[in-house]
Amino acid sequence: MTQTAIEIRGLQKTYRSGRGAPEKHALKGIDLDIPAGSVFGLLGPNGAGKSTMINILAGLVLKSAGQVKIWDFDQDINPRQSRAAIGVMPQELNLDPFFTPRGALEVQAGLYGVPKSQRTSDEILRLVGLEDKAEAYARTLSGGMRRRLLLGKALVHHPQILVLDEPTAGVDIELRQMLWENMRKLNRERGMTIILTTHYLEEAEEMCDEIAIIDHGEMVARDSTANLLGQLDTKTMIVMPEAPVGTLPYAPGVEVNQREDGTLAMSYHANDTSAEDVLELLRQKGIRIRDVKTEQASLEDVFLSLTKSSA
């Protein structure tokens, strides 16, 4: 039996800008269940409503309508318990420059009412690789270290659910790898439910078991990553020919491109064309195959096909 970590029903948010400016209907009635123990990706183009949704979960933004249950606690009925179950790593680097990393963790623990005996600041500093910087002032920390400290702050009250809003936007490869590593560790070793927003589809493909795609405040897809990837029937066969190919083969329904390494990338719709058809085309043109592999549609293709209509 899978428990539900987050249950969202009819969630709406309207921002009122005042001064006659139009209202912004940022979330238009979202229903979403996020299973406990999963790594869940919330995807969508800029302005889709991802941060609004996460900030509502975190208790930082008030919803306009709907119901949110976190770890089975209704946000409106049990605000304290529902807030205790979730830790949020925000996108902005909002750190008090006068606290050291250890100080910042202790203050955060105090805010959440974590008794001294249950605080694990040293362990958290180790996890995010800041044990050497425990006593350094936040203003002397690099951007990457600040981000790691924000992750640490999200963990002080030992939440069951960790939410990360664009955790790797604009970070270098090394830090991205470290954050991915941390997320995996927390998910696998502690069974923590991880929810992340990202506009790097590669990140979602790499990290997430399940994905919801939102666009203009509405959910346009919700499925396992594997199913979403399988949803598009575009397949690409990559063929390494025995000898260089002069004229590219052509057939209706098969798009052929030559790549720099001399391979032919042959894309086709699996519903209309079979792999055998593609191979037959090569045979007809007398192209002998040294090697062949297939590429599946990327999440990017799925994403574009679902969000382009309303762009």
The DSSP bridge pattern shows strands 210-215 and 218-224 to be antiparallel
Candidate residues 8, 34, 51, 157; the one interacting with ligand ADP per rule CB under 6 A: 51
102 binds, among Mg ion, ligand ADP, none (CB under 5 to 8 A by kind): none
Nearest residue to 48 (alpha-carbon basis) of 208, 211, 218, 186: 218
Nearest residue to 41 (alpha-carbon basis) of 172, 165, 217: 165
214 token code pair: 């939102």
Exposure string (b/e) for 16-33, b if CB count within 10 Å is 16 or more?
Answer: eeeeeeeeebbbbebebb
133 binds, among Mg ion, ligand ADP, none (CB under 5 to 8 A by kind): none
Task: Report how many residues bind ligand ADP under the rule CB under 6 A.
Answer: 12
Angle between helices 173-190 and 143-155 (to 10 degrees): 10
244 token code pair: 């260089």
Q: Contact between 200 and ligand ADP (CB under 6 A)?
A: no
Candidate residues 34, 41, 51, 201; the one interacting with Mg ion per rule CB under 5 A: 51
DSSP 37-67: T-EEEEE--TTSSHHHHHHHHTTSS--SEEE
> Is residue 96 helix, strand or coil?
coil
Q: Contact between 58 and ligand ADP (CB under 6 A)?
A: no
Stretch touching Mg ion by CB under 5 A, among 48-56, 111-119, 172-180, 232-240: 48-56
127 — alpha (psi -120 to 50), left (phi > 0) or beta?
alpha
Candidate residues 39, 43, 50, 219; the one interacting with ligand ADP per rule CB under 6 A: 50
Q: Contact between 47 and ligand ADP (CB under 6 A)?
A: yes
> Looking at beta carbons only, is 24 or 285 nearer to ligand ADP?
24
46 binds, among Mg ion, ligand ADP, none (CB under 5 to 8 A by kind): ligand ADP
216 binds, among Mg ion, ligand ADP, none (CB under 5 to 8 A by kind): none
> Looking at beta carbons only, is 271 or 309 nearer to ligand ADP?
309
Stretch touching ligand ADP by CB under 6 A, among 43-51, 130-138, 149-157, 170-178: 43-51
Stretch touching ligand ADP by CB under 6 A, among 28-36, 42-50, 220-228, 300-308: 42-50
Q: Contact between 24 and ligand ADP (CB under 6 A)?
A: yes
13 token code pair: 């948010």
Rounded to a whole number of angstroms, the minimum distance from the CB of residue 238 to ligand ADP is 34
Candidate residues 49, 152, 159, 241; the one interacting with ligand ADP per rule CB under 6 A: 49
Amino acid at 237: M
> Looking at beta carbons only, is 26 or 95 nearer to ligand ADP?
26
Distance set, CA 287 to CA 89, 127, 183, 247, 284 (Å): 54, 54, 47, 10, 8
Amino acid at 203: E
47 binds, among ligand ADP, Mg ion, none (CB under 5 to 8 A by kind): ligand ADP
Binding site for ligand ADP (CB under 6 A): 15, 17, 24, 26, 44, 46-52
Binding site for Mg ion (CB under 5 A): 50-51
